[in-house]
Structure formats: structure tokens, C-alpha cells
């Protein structure tokens, strides 16, 4: 796994200890990422350039209990394991919530206090971002359902569509709603 050397040792050590076989982005060529995530080759090359997390997947189905054990081991080393839309992510002290807080502060410092933030996501790795934006939007997952753990903890605007379609519907709906307020 060469894309995130700092995660490499922990990743391999924990998974070997638990007898789990996983493949990380650093193990994949751009063509494989393109196929796995339905991205164009240029986007896959960009997606492979990671600095703050290591997306990965298991080669065979893994019981939740084993994933919880891996998560505990990673936590001991200051790393976090979170679930994304299609992959799991090993992160080191960073998340989308920290990123949105930093970006929001940069905007406020440079352009004034009024700023309306909107975050769209469908998975647990989006939770920290959704927690910090003014308008959190939850998009349906591929199986036509919302992430239950997010709904149980946050008041969110629920996009009616799945994936990119839901994202598009939500953004257009919010723009339309805002336009009607200003007209």
C-alpha cells in the first residue's frame, strides 16, 4: 500500500493479526479503481492520490465483530476506521467535519461572517461533515434506504433520490427553495 505509508504498517499489522485480507487504494492501479468505483481513468488517478485516509475493501465477507476488533486496534494507534459508500476508510485524526470547520473558518475570515453551509452524504464517513453544516442532506443509498445511524442522531433533509440522482435533486431543490425566498 504505497499511497499512504503512515497507514501501511498499522493496516497490515492489524489485519494480519486478525487474519483478514484487505486491499487498499495503494494496492490498486488507476484502472482497477476506475472499474471498482465507476470513475473515469483521470478521476481514478486523482482518487488514488490520498494523503489523509486509505480506502480499502475486504477480499471476502467479514463479520461485524471482527471489524469492531480491528477498529479497537486502530483506535489504540490513533487511527479511525469508518464506513464509506462502497469502501471502508482508515483515517488518522482527520474527517470531513474537521475539513468543513476549517474551510468555513477560512471563508468567514476572508469574506465575512454570513455563510450558509450545505453538506450532502449517504454514509457514516459523512456524519462528521453533516454534523457541522447548516443544512445537512442525507442521500439514499443504492438499496433505496437512508443510513439509519445518521437519521437516529441528526436532523437531516432527506434527498428523495439515490446516489448522484439524489444529490442532484437535493441541490436543485435547495436552489429552487432559496430562489423562491428571494423573488
Identify the CATH class of 96-182. Answer: alpha beta
Identify the CATH class of 5-91. Answer: alpha beta
Least confident range of 9-18, 50-59, 115-124, 165-174: 9-18
Q: Report yes or no on whether pTM surpasses 0.85.
A: no
CA distance 48 to 103: 23
Q: Is the pLDDT of residue 1 over 60?
A: no
Contacts of 166 (CB under 8 A, 6+ apart): 122, 139, 140, 159, 160
Query: Can you give the residue ranges of every domain in the chain?
Result: 5-91, 96-182
Runs of H (alpha helix) within 26-63: 30-37, 41-48
Amino acid at each position: 500500500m504505497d499511497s499512504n505509508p503512515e497507514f501501511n504498517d498499522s493496516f497490515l499489522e492489524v489485519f494480519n493479526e486478525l487474519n483478514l485480507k484487505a486491499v487498499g487504494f495503494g494496492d490498486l492501479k488507476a484502472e482497477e479503481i476506475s472499474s471498482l468505483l465507476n470513475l473515469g481513468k483521470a478521476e481514478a488517478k486523482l482518487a488514488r492520490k490520498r494523503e489523509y485516509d486509505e480506502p480499502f475493501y475486504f477480499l471476502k465477507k467479514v463479520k461485524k465483530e471482527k471489524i469492531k476488533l480491528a477498529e479497537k486496534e486502530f483506535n489504540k494507534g490513533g487511527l479511525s476506521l469508518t464506513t464509506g459508500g462502497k469502501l471502508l476508510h482508515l483515517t488518522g485524526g482527520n474527517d470531513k467535519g474537521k475539513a468543513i470547520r476549517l474551510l468555513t473558518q477560512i471563508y468567514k475570515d476572508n469574506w465575512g461572517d454570513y455563510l450558509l453551509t450545505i453538506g450532502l452524504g449517504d454514509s457514516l464517513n459523512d456524519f462528521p461533515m453533516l454534523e457541522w453544516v447548516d443544512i445537512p442532506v442525507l442521500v439514499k443509498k443504492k438499496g433505496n434506504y437512508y443510513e439509519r445511524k445518521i437519521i437516529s442522531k441528526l436532523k437531516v433533509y432527506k434527498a428523495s433520490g439515490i446516489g448522484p440522482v439524489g444529490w442532484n435533486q437535493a441541490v436543485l431543490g435547495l436552489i429552487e427553495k432559496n430562489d423562491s425566498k428571494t423573488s
